[in-house]
Amino acid sequence: MIRLDSIFEPLPRKLKRSDSLYFSFYYQPQGNGHVPAPGDSLVLEFLAPNESIVNIIPPDTVINGNDTLINPGDTIVLESWHQVWSSPGMSLQKFHNKYNKWFRQVVVPVNDSIRYYSDKFRFRFRNYASLADPIVPDWQSNGDQWNVDYVYLNINRGIYDTLHRDVAFARRAPNMLSRYTSMPYNQYREGFINAMRDTLTMLITNLDGEDYNSSYRYEVSRDFGEPFYEYNGGNYAVLPFVTAGYVDHQPFSRPPVNFVFPIGTQEKVFFTTTHILNTQANIGRKQNDTVRHVQVFANYLSYDDGSAEAGYGLTPSGAKMAMKFKLNRPDSLIGVNMYFNQTLKQGNIKSFYLNVWNDYFGQPGELIYSRYGYDPQYSDSLNTFILYKTDSVIHISHGNFPNLIFYVGFEQTTPENLNIGFDKNNDASAYVFWNTYNGPWNNSLYAGAPMIRPVLGKEKVVGLNEQSETAQLRIFPNPATDDWVVVELPETGRFANPFIRFYSADGRLMLEKPYTRENNIGHLPSGLYMVMVGDLNHESRFTGKLMKR
């Protein structure tokens, strides 16, 4: 509830119509989702708490869904909702053609003091929607989507009060990896230099009509700890969006990625990148000056961000779909995480083949694994993946999988759409292939990422607080003040042709050579190092930390 009965600053008093109370918001049909049909609508309603009716209807009448015993002459106070605005459904492109903008702001006066000026005032948006497809059950899901943003209710406003004193991020924080949204930590370790983006794309806007001197930076931390890397984009006068559009100042709009995530041995780890804007415009309105991206290294590969804006599927029976993945080192495939959209009356619950192919000149090649009997399954929670295990471990090695490229996907046994979750914020269409009637493989025509994630390695990802092998590597003196350190393997840790590697705190390989007990580090600068002893394939057996002063 919202108190519209009083104003408390600078002195408490009753709210009046002369206080010029207005309600505003931005809206957009479709967005990345399904197009609202022309006969559907988005509606804004205000609650009038003070409206009441006198009972003139017979007793034992159903009111608000309940059998209620009422007496003649009783006054019944009902919730009375009033429609104050609505928009018919349309596509996003038609919306842009009509208004010449991707988001439209609506300003609604709240001047009916008798109805709305109460301490129990409320508002709500309602979506009058039709099914995505009125005939085909497997498409009856995720219908008529709208985006609503920047809802603002305040006094001393007017119908032309469309500017907001806010310098803000206009898009979610970008992913730091160049190809995948998530990957196993050991795969990242093997090719971490090429795994990172060179630059980021940031959308920053000034919603006011004045310039504001602003600063931008981002910082990176691990497991919610202190930042280990910070980028500073300096200061810049951000011009109003209405005249200049999004910020095109390169240190703000295209910040570089001059770091790598630190190398470790955990199976699951989180890194958080926090993007921060500072400006006088944001005093009192801080919600939009910080965005975060959490980079997860776990036991799967993914192109999606974990959120389905749409559904993806094929027809007819026998149609095949495959997603392309590439490893940096050999590994074992133990299953596939998949997310399916729920549909009306479970119209997409149809059995399919789970398939794995190797590569043939950039397309799915030989069928390495195929098993029938998998069905779309749902969780009680939205965007929760289900693990479809293979009945045997599939070793992704150079033998059966040239260049460590493999494809995972399915073959349909019915013409119904399986309705796999489809992330439209990340475009993986270059890695998505489809095939019908055993014809040639084709790239997907739709920008986005089906929510299919191959699961690698062990069956269960261990937690963040696991006891690792770090303590098994003895390094002394530590901290090191001289040019030489001793790195001792445990008695049970001997193996053929060991190599020793020193990584800096920002993940750079500073020294690599055949393992020796005594090591000259005189040329290394002062700082914290991760020391790893492993084999020629960079598979780490033992690790430890060294501080050089």
Task: Give DSSP secondary structure letters for 449-463.
Answer: EESEEEEESSSS---
Cβ atoms of 370 and 355 within 8 Å: the answer is yes
User: Which pLDDT does position 488 carry in this prediction?
Assistant: 87
Question: What burial letters (b/e) apply to 43-63, b meaning 16+ CB within 10 Å?
Answer: ebbbbbbeeeeeeeeeeeeee
Predicted TM-score of the model (pTM) = 0.77
DSSP structure string for 419-433: -EEEESSS--GGGEE
- Does residue 288 contact residue 308 with C-beta atoms inside 8 Å? no
486: enclosing H helix or E strand: strand 484-488
Are the CB atoms for 366 and 441 separated by under 8 Å?
A: no
Task: Give CA–CA dist 47/81, Å, rounded.
Answer: 5
**Measured distance CA(280)–CA(137) in Å, rounded:** 53
The pairing of strands 320-326 and 331-338 is unpaired
Residue 46: CA count within 13 A, CB half-sphere: 23
The Cα–Cα gap between 475 and 280 comes to 50
Amino acid identity of residue 489, one-letter, is: L
Q: Residues 6 or more apart from 246 whose CB is under 8 A from it?
A: 170, 203, 204, 205, 253
Secondary-structure percent of the chain, ordered helix, strand, coil, rounded to 5: 10, 45, 45
Three-class secondary structure of residue 346 per DSSP: helix
- Residues 370, 374, 376, 381, CA torsion sign: negative
Q: Which long-range contacts (CB under 8 A, 24 or more apart) does 7-11 make?
A: 7/155
Domains of the chain, start order: 6-154 (no CATH), 167-297 (2.60.40), 310-456 (2.60.120), 469-548 (2.60.40.3080)
For residue 347, the model assigns a pLDDT of 83
**Gap between the Cα atoms of 537 and 528, Å rounded:** 24
Predicted local confidence at residue 464, as pLDDT:
33
3-state secondary structure of 180: coil
Per-residue model confidence (pLDDT) at position 135: 61
* Maximum Cα–Cα distance across the chain: 98
Amino acid at 177: L
Averaged over successive runs of 10 residues, the pLDDT of the chain (549 residues) comes to 89 94 97 89 92 54 51 62 96 96 96 92 92 62 84 95 92 96 94 93 95 96 88 96 96 96 85 92 72 94 94 92 97 96 86 96 96 89 90 92 96 92 96 93 96 84 35 80 87 73 78 90 87 72 82
Would you mind telling me the total number of residues written for the chain in this entry? 549
